[in-house]
């Protein structure tokens, strides 16, 4: 079975890694790989090289990312992506396309595959992010897909609610949790050496992205976060840069400016990679921002997450997450509460809602058994 895996970001590739390795090492499958988006951008570190370093062969590189991060720029990038993926998938002619998530690059790939009548398997469908354009994209990809691998029971129910046949929807758990279980993470000293930076006893991991269904709020919201951080003395801050989203560059500029003025207590990274990022999660005191990893991966480490604003509104979360408005007072109050002994006690017996099993093994077992004959024609499932 020829399976084409498509990836456009460093984070998404990290989640797909074990599934890709499983496909590569199993003689039943012929793995094809298409990379696009941020992987091919110098601004975001040419992360396609990490994929090759991991021993994968990239079959196609789809250039689609314009230098503009405006709404019009993103829209034009989607158009370029559809053109590029139409040619690539026509040539590769896979039996199945495997996609993850909800970004505009993946929307382009799914659209091309749908028109070419290539079946799609979609990971992490059914989730909700009401502050993002990703919300509409994710559910659109669900309707274009024939197989669904969700990260929780709640999300499985939502995919079925969208009219998908229950026997084609599988709860395999969050792919990111598998990385935590299978990767050998760094000690704090090893992590410090790997980033060439001395961490204080207390340090925060910060990842903040634009809220793409809001207009021109990224700068103001992130400035409020930076004001809050000034209240925490004897603390170091590790920033990871935002993705290629609308208004992403204004956040990048603010991070670079903050780090330049506070180089002894802060450092920023375009790409930490899976091992270093998860090691940072393991050793930090808390996570601050609005990234999905703050909701999905942090529960496995029993680490508090300060989730700012509406970017992740509607997404399932554990009791390790504290939601707050994007103003410096609420952010400061939430951080102080997260650092308190009373909140730490709350997490002692806490279990992640996203499971702890090997998702990739489940995915491969399902793909081996699936019958792709006539799978393109879908019948809407009505909930009675």
| Domain range list for the chain | 2-173+357-369, 186-346
CA distance to 77, 90, 162, per residue, from 178 (Å): 32, 32, 27
Bridge partners, residue 120, by sequence: 97
Bridge partners, residue 35, by sequence: 7, 61
CATH class of residue range 186-346: alpha beta
> Which DSSP letter does residue 286 get?
E
State the pLDDT at residue 188: 95
For the stretch 96-132, pLDDT in tens is: 999 998 899 999 999 999 999 999 999 999 998 877 7
pTM: 0.81
State the pLDDT at residue 204: 97
Mean pLDDT of 336-361: 87
* CATH code linked to domain 2-173+357-369: 3.40.50.2000
Could you tell me the pLDDT band of residue 355, with boundaries at 50, 70 and 90?
low
State the pLDDT at residue 70: 79
Ordered strands of the 235-240 beta sheet: 266-269, 235-240, 202-207, 286-289, 305-308, 321-324
Mean pLDDT of 318-336: 95
Mean pLDDT of 307-330: 90
State the pLDDT at residue 293: 86
State the pLDDT at residue 87: 97
Please enumerate, as own/partner, the contacts of 136-140 that have beta carbons within 8 Å and a separation of 24 or more.
Answer: 137/102, 137/103, 137/104, 137/106, 137/107, 138/101, 138/102, 140/107, 140/110
For the stretch 200-222, pLDDT in tens is: 999 999 999 877 667 768 889 99
pLDDT at 245 over 70: no
Q: Establish whether domains 2-173+357-369 and 186-346 are of one fold.
A: yes
Looking at the chain, the whole-number percentage of residues with pLDDT higher than 70 is 97
Looking at the chain, the whole-number percentage of residues with pLDDT higher than 90 is 72
pLDDT at 66 over 90: no
State the pLDDT at residue 261: 96
State the pLDDT at residue 244: 66
pLDDT at 356 over 70: no
Among 38, 13, 377, CA closest to 209: 38
């Amino acid at each position: 079975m020829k399976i084409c895996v498509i990836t456009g970001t460093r984070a998404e590739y990290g989640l797909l890694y074990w599934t890709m390795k499983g496909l590569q090492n199993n003689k039943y499958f012929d793995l094809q790989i298409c990379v696009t988006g941020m992987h091919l951008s110098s601004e975001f570190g040419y992360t396609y090289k990490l994929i090759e370093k991991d021993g994968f062969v990239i079959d196609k590189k789809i250039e689609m990312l314009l230098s503009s991060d405006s709404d019009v720029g993103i829209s034009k990038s989607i158009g370029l992506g559809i053109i590029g993926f139409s040619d690539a998938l026509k040539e590769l002619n896979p039996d199945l396309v495997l996609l993850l998530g909800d970004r505009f690059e993946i929307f382009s790939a799914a659209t091309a595959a749908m028109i070419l009548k290539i079946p799609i398997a979609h990971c992490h469908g059914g989730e909700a992010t009401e502050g993002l354009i990703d919300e509409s994209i994710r559910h659109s990809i669900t309707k274009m897909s024939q197989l669904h691998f969700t990260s929780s029971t709640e999300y499985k129910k939502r995919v079925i609610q969208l009219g998908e046949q229950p026997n084609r929807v599988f709860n395999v758990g969050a792919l990111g949790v598998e990385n935590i279980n299978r990767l050998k993470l760094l000690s704090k000293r090893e992590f410090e050496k790997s980033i060439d930076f001395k961490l204080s006893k207390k340090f925060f991991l910060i990842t903040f992205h634009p809220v793409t269904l809001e207009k021109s709020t990224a700068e103001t919201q992130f400035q409020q976060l930076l004001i809050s951080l000034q209240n925490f003395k004897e603390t170091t801050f590790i920033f990871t840069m935002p993705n290629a989203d609308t208004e992403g560059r204004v956040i990048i500029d603010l991070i670079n400016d903050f780090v330049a003025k506070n180089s002894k207590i802060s450092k920023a990274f375009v790409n930490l990679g899976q091992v270093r990022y998860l090691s940072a999660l393991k050793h930090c005191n808390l996570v601050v921002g609005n990234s999905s990893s703050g909701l999905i991966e942090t529960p496995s480490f029993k680490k508090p997450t300060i989730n700012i604003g509406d970017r992740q509104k509607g997404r399932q979360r554990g009791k390790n997450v504290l939601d707050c408005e994007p103003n410096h007072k609420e952010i400061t109050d939430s951080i102080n509460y997260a650092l308190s002994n009373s909140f730490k006690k709350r997490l002692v017996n806490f279990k992640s809602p996203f499971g702890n099993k090997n998702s990739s093994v489940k995915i491969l077992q399902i793909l081996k058994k699936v019958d792709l004959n006539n799978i393109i024609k879908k019948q809407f499932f009505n909930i009675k």
